[in-house]
Structure 1
Amino acid sequence: MKTLDELRSDIKEILNTEWKTREGRVVPETSDIKLGNDAVELDGTVLYADMADSTGLVMGYKDWFAAEIYKVYLKSACEIIKNNDGVITAFDGDRVMAVFIGESKNTSAAKAALQINYVVRKVINAEIKNHYTTTSFQLEQAVGIDTSKLFVARTGVRGSNDLVWVGRAANYAAKLCDLRLNSYSSFITQEVFDKLHDSAKFGGEEKKSMWEKVYWEDRGISVYRSSWWWQP
């Protein structure tokens, strides 16, 4: 165990060491970045898929049932993210973070959000009801997406460390999930919306907009929300 003086020395070293950064062309893995002041910079679109009211699930249902819901949601979200060329970068309890890069990163992320909504509404909840015929449980969730420059560093200690994703997209994508309301479960920023291909903007036979512009009071900006789904 390190002494307080040793910890103070580590802190000074971090604060005094100049950063070495390089441009990233792929989503980095933990082993790609050193534990020191080493970082990768890249343009990325961040997606957070987040279960709603996991506290109510854990407190109100059997532990094994809650674990099953966690597993079916996170597995489904991860498979859809991967199918849309996203890279899963972190898990945090009941949510998963992914990063998309490349020319179509925003369209791919938005498509993934709508597909996750489809699987939750049309597949997971139906299978839960079929298997547990007396339950009133309905899985609700939200997906938030933003795009920005990302500064990716490695934090922690030897043997226990992970990547930290610094940038607006990582912060906003997570917080957008809190805007979930009724049937609206997919949320994107203006920057993401502006770069969407028409296939991810308009849906249905009449090609209606799948996104509704709303004001995000906490950040003082306009964002877009959707209640649409997209069959994988």
Structure 2
Amino acid sequence: MGLLKDLQDHAAQTFREQWATRAGQVVPSPTDLKLSNDAVEFDRATVLYADLTGSTNMVDTLGWQKAAEIYKTFLFCSGKIIRDSGGVITSYDGDRVMAVFIGNTQTSDAAICGLKINWAVQNVINPALSNQYSGNTFTVSQVVGIDTSPVRAARTGVRGDNDIVWVGRAANYAAKLTEIKLPQRTWITEDAYNRLRDDAKYGGNPRQDMWKKFSWTQQNDIPAYGSTYWWAVSN
């Protein structure tokens, strides 16, 4: 069978085939889903994207070796914090990592995770970089985006080379929030903010709201909340 016929047949079958869906209890792996129209549904899931900022300029100015070291360190720290916070890593994409949180405390867990990633960048990664390279003037920075919504997981790709696509507002908004270029390092939607426990919403001394409300101009001026706070990793 030729390539064109493969493409035509797959497109026709995918658009024609009825979906088989089931409620999700855990975050699925690709092998839990069929390549046909098979989906796991979550009434609500929280999606987190952690994105390393300025990576193109980093490669141009620091060279590939140092840039690769920063990539590796950032993704390692983010991944370890995500897992420790109860999230499931669903993909690495260049200089960013995506994770899904489910369960009763999912949104607060994701928000605290974002604050911990901010702490790790400022208190682990940047000091280690400066300690290794005397005279270093480069500062690693990141943006974390978080949203919560109904989400569906489906398997996509070709046989032997496939992954899960996450369909729902949370996946799209969480990714788009990482494009905001302001001093705040962690961003959440209003729906996520309204679901935060008090310990994920208030901090500091004196105790105050850690999240500042903004109009998200890139998304029709809907409310979004950004934070400059961090949450220390203690063990």
- With the shorter chain as reference, the TM-score category is over 0.9
Change (3 A) 1:2 1:207: farther
CA RMSD in angstroms comes to 1.0
Contact 1:77/1:116 (CA < 8 Å) preserved in 2?
A: yes
What CA distance in whole angstroms lies between the structure 1 residues aligned with 2:97 and 2:224? 21
What CA distance in whole angstroms lies between the structure 2 residues aligned with 1:192 and 1:31? 30
TM-score under structure 1 length normalisation: 0.97
What CA distance in whole angstroms lies between the structure 2 residues aligned with 1:185 and 1:158? 38
Aligned to 1:52: 53
| CA displacement 1:136-176 (0-9 Å, x = unmatched) | 11101000000011111111111110000010000000010
TM-score under structure 2 length normalisation: 0.96
Shift of 1:64: 1.0
Aligned to 1:222: 223
1:204 paired with 2:204, answer: yes
The unaligned stretches of length 5 or more in structure 2 are: none
What CA distance in whole angstroms lies between the structure 2 residues aligned with 1:27 and 1:6? 31
Tell me which amino acid in the other structure corresponds to 1:12.
A
- Counting aligned pairs with the same residue, the percent is 48
Partner SS state of residue 178, structure 2: helix
Aligned to 2:157: 156
Shift of 1:131: 0.8
What CA distance in whole angstroms lies between the structure 2 residues aligned with 1:101 and 1:136? 39
Partner SS state of residue 115, structure 2: helix
The unaligned stretches of length 5 or more in structure 1 are: none
Shift of 1:79: 0.5
Aligned to 2:87: 86
Runs of 4+ residues deviating >4 angstroms: none
Aligned to 1:97: 98
